[in-house]
Structures are given as C-alpha cells and as structure tokens.
Amino acid sequence: MDYKNRTIVTEFILAGLTESSELKSILFVLFFIIYSLTVLENTALIALISCDAQLYTPMYVFLRQLSVIDICYSSSVTIRMLMDFVSVKSSISVPGCSLQMFFYAGFGGSECFLLAAMSYDRYVAICHPLTYLQIINRKTVIILLILSHIGGFSNGLVQTSFSFFHLDFCENSQAIHHFYCDVIALIEISCGDTRLNEMVLFSLVGFIGLSSLFVILISYFCIIIAVLRIHSSKGRKKAFSTCASHLTVVTLFYGTIIFMYLRPLSAYSPEQDKVIAVFYTVIIPFLNPLIYSLRNREVKNSAKKFGISIEPK
C-alpha cells in the first residue's frame, strides 16, 4: 500500500440488520425482549445454583459459568445492536470496535473450551463414577475454568491485534457490512493484503473449534460405549438424560460457529451471515438456560424450593 495516500480511519459505520425505519422499530422491541429474557434467565440460573447447596457440584459450577459467559457474550454484541436501531448514524469508533471484537471473540472462545470441559466432566461422571470426585475435584474445576478463559481471551487478543494493527483501512472502506465488528467483515473491507489475517483467522478458529469439538466427540464416544454396557434400560435412559442438554447446546453452538468461520471467504455473504450471527450471538444465549432448566430434574426441584415453577405448560 502507498502510505502517503493512506487515510487514518477513526470510526466505522455499521450497516446493521436493516435500513428500514419501520423494521428497525420492530426489531428493537423484539431483540430488547429477547436480550432482557436472556439476562433474566441466566441471572436466575446463576442465583439458583449459588443459593442451593445441593447444586454445589462440578457440573453445576460449569453450568453457572456458562450462564455468566452467555450474558457477557450476548451483551458484547446485542447492546450495541439495540443502540444502533434507535441511532441516526450507526458509527463506532476504532477503539470501541476493537473492544467489541476483543470481548466477543474472548467470550466466544471461552465458551468453546468450557463446553469441552463440561463434556469431560460428563465422561468422568458416567465412565468413572467411583472416582469422579477425586478426578473432578475443586482444584480441577478451577484449573479448567481458568484455562477456558485464558484460551478464549488469547483468541480475542490475537484476533483484535491482527485486525487493527495489520489490516489497512482506507477512507472509502469505513462501512462494515455487519451489525457488529466481526473479524471477517473487517477483512472484507480492508484495502490491503489480508492473507496473513485470513491464515490467522482460520488457524485460530480451526484450533479452538476443532480441538474442543474433538474433546467433546471423544468424550461422548466413550460415554456411548459405557452406556450401552448398562443392562438396565432405566439406567441407560438416566445416563443419556444427563448428557442430552449439553449435546443440544453443543450442536447449536458449534454448528453455527463452524459454518460461519471455517469456510472459504469467497463464500462470504453479508446478509446470510447476519442471520447466522443473530442466531449464535442472540438466540443461543437465550435458549441455553431454557435447555438446561427444562430438561434438568435437579434444577426444577431447586426452583420449587424457592417457589419457582419452570415446568412447561
């Protein structure tokens, strides 16, 4: 690039989900309700697990942390999206854009590693029940949680650094064709060489997504073998029921993430990717506490102690 002709970009313009004023008003109300319920549901689950001594087990410690991550993960994108629905100009400063990317990528990576840790927890509980508390003890849980966040925010730091210190943005490349500062959208509008950024993106997302997914698949492969050896059909059903919620969450989260980031940039479609991004940044954090609550007997019983009914009507 000719640096003499380079213009220093101080802000970006977010295209948002739609340009229609009428549709913006409808979407604001819809996503405000979903986001409010997301925060309420996850906060309630965090409080429930924290207040009930019977839920002081590794599985629920991981679940509580998942709720914390879901609140932060969704907030890093949804709050800004709601503001843009009611703003005349959907501009975001370069520091604001970099912070959003850092927290979004950080919490997203942390969730990948946490889901892998939760699958390992279920593997030990089902395949090694007699030594479960010795293997998954307090120290192990803390280490797994710390490693999840270190791995996640290392991803956020690297992605943000490469996006804002290596990519070149010109005066005519300020419009981000997305509703938040996504690394793919920034690569698309860069007016310089993006090959290194593409390599870093696919390497990091590939490592985080595929390595954590590998742990999950291996864990559940061992779980299935162990469950099939149980002679009692009631025992097999009980064992599978403890994994059903986690498998549902994993399928939803990894399915969208892998489709979004592990495909050639030539297949990038801004409008299609906006829909996918809404699903994994807004809808999944809203669904997660419902999936775990409605399918979990211990959570239901704990809620009843506090006079709360979460049984489906």
Domains located in the chain, CATH noted: 9-305 (1.20.1070.10)
Which pair of structure tokens corresponds to residue 100?
């959003």
Q: Report pLDDT for 275.
A: 86
Which residues, in sequence order, are CB contacts of 257 under 8 Å at separation 6+? 108, 112, 205, 209, 280
- Do 127 and 77 form a contact (C-beta atoms < 8 A)? no
Nearest 10 degrees: Cα torsion 243, 246, 248, 253: -150
pTM: 0.88
Which residues, in sequence order, are CB contacts of 294 under 8 Å at separation 6+? 310, 312
Q: Report pLDDT for 238.
A: 72
Residues 63-73: tens digit of each pLDDT: 999 999 999 99
* Residues of the chain under the 50 pLDDT cut: 1-6
Q: How far is CA 179 from the centre of its chain?
A: 17
Q: Report pLDDT for 266.
A: 64
Residues 30-65: tens digit of each pLDDT: 999 999 999 999 999 999 889 887 888 899 999 999
Measured distance CA(303)–CA(301) in Å, rounded: 5
Residue with tokens 């479960």: 132
Nearest 10 degrees: Cα torsion 65, 70, 76, 77: 170
Q: Report pLDDT for 271.
A: 78
Q: Report pLDDT for 311.
A: 58
Q: Report pLDDT for 212.
A: 92
